[in-house]
Amino acid sequence: MSSKVPKYDEAYVWVWLPGETAPVVAGRLYAHDGLVSFNYGRSFRELGS
């Protein structure tokens, strides 16, 4: 009997900002062809505006 291990290729990164009680999505890590990329989340980018 063999087990299949699930393959995950993405993860969301959450951060807690100073003085806040709820986290915000900072972005997403994505693995593809041996590389890992990070894309900032829209809501996180808009915090600086």
pLDDT in tens, 4-16: 888 889 999 999 9
Q: What is the pLDDT of residue 21?
A: 94
Q: What is the pLDDT of residue 49?
A: 57
> Per the domain annotation, does 33 fall within a domain?
yes
Q: What is the pLDDT of residue 1?
A: 64
Question: What's the domain range around 39?
Answer: 10-46
> Per the domain annotation, does 3 fall within a domain?
no
Cα–Cα distance, 12 to 43 (Å, whole number)? 13
> Per the domain annotation, does 30 fall within a domain?
yes
Cα–Cα distance, 44 to 49 (Å, whole number)? 10
pLDDT in tens, 11-39: 999 999 899 899 989 999 999 999 999 99
Number of folded domains that form the chain: 1
> Per the domain annotation, does 14 fall within a domain?
yes
> Per the domain annotation, does 17 fall within a domain?
yes
DSSP for 1-49, written as a single string: ---PPP---EEEEEEPPTT-SS-EEEEEEEEETTEEEEEE-HHHHHTT-
Whether residue 45 is predicted with pLDDT greater than 70 in this model: the reply is yes
Task: Tell me if the pTM is above 0.75.
Answer: no
